[in-house]
Chains A and B, each alone.
Chain A
Amino acid sequence: MADTSELVDRLLAGDRRALARVLSLVENDTPAGREALRVLYPRGGRAHTIGITGPTGSGKSTLAACLGQEFRRRGRTVGIVAVDPTSPLSHGAILGDRIRMQELASDTEVFVRSMASRGGLGGLAPATAEVVAVLDAAGKDVIIIETVGAGQDEVEIAGSAMTTIVVVPPSSGDDIQAMKAGIIEIADILVVNKADLPGASAAAIHLESLAGFAPPEARAAPVLCTVATRAEGISALADATEEHRAYLESSGRLAPHLRGRARAQVLSALRQAVEERVLASKDGRLEAAVQAVYERRIDPRSAAMALLGEP
Chain B
Amino acid sequence: MTSERPIRVLVAKPGLDGHDRGAKIVARALRDAGMEVVYTGIRQTPEMIAEAALQEDVDAVGLSILSGAHLELFPRVIAALKERGIGPDDVLLIAGGIIPDDDIPVLKAMGFKGVFGPGADTREIVDFVRKNVGQAVG
Binding site for B on A (CB under 8 A): 1, 16-17, 20-21, 23-25, 28, 30, 32, 86-87, 90-96, 98-99, 102, 105-106, 108, 111-114, 116, 118
Contact = CB atoms under 8 A, between A and B. Distances in A.
8 contacts: A92-B30, A92-B34, A93-B36, A94-B28, A94-B37, A95-B37, A96-B39, A113-B55
Interface residues of B, number: 35
B98 to A, nearest CB: 23
Nearest to A16: B54
A28 B56 contact: no
Nearest to B30: A92
The 10 A-B pairs at the shortest CB distance, nearest first, are namely: A92-B31, A20-B57, A99-B41, A105-B48, A24-B57, A92-B34, A95-B38, A116-B36, A93-B36, A91-B34
Contacts of A86: 36
Interface string B82-112: 0011100000000000000000000000000
Interface string B55-69: 111000000000000
Which of B6, B38, B57, B84 has the largest count of A CB atoms less than 10 A from its CB? B38
A108 B52 CA distance: 11
B31 A87 contact: yes
Nearest to A82: B38
Interface string B11-45: 00000000000000001101111111111110011
Interface of B: 1, 4-6, 8, 27-28, 30-41, 44-45, 47-48, 51-52, 54-57, 84-86, 136-138
B37 A93 contact: yes
A91 B33 CA distance: 8
Given A28-B5, A90-B32, A90-B34, A99 B40 contact: yes
Contacts of A94: 27-28, 31, 37, 39
A30 B1 contact: yes
Contact of B47 (A1, A23, A106): A106
Given A28-B1, A28-B138, A16 B55 contact: yes
Contacts of A20: 54-57
B55 to A, nearest CB: 6
Contacts of A16: 54-55, 84
B135 to A, nearest CB: 11
Given A95-B37, A106-B48, A112 B55 contact: yes
Contacts of A87: 31-32
Given A21-B57, A28-B1, A105 B52 contact: yes
Contacts of B8: 24
A116 B6 contact: yes
A32 B136 CA distance: 13
Contact of B35 (A25, A30, A92, A96): A92
Nearest to B32: A90
A94 B86 CA distance: 23
Nearest to A21: B57
Nearest to A106: B47
A98 B49 CA distance: 11
Contacts of A112: 52, 55
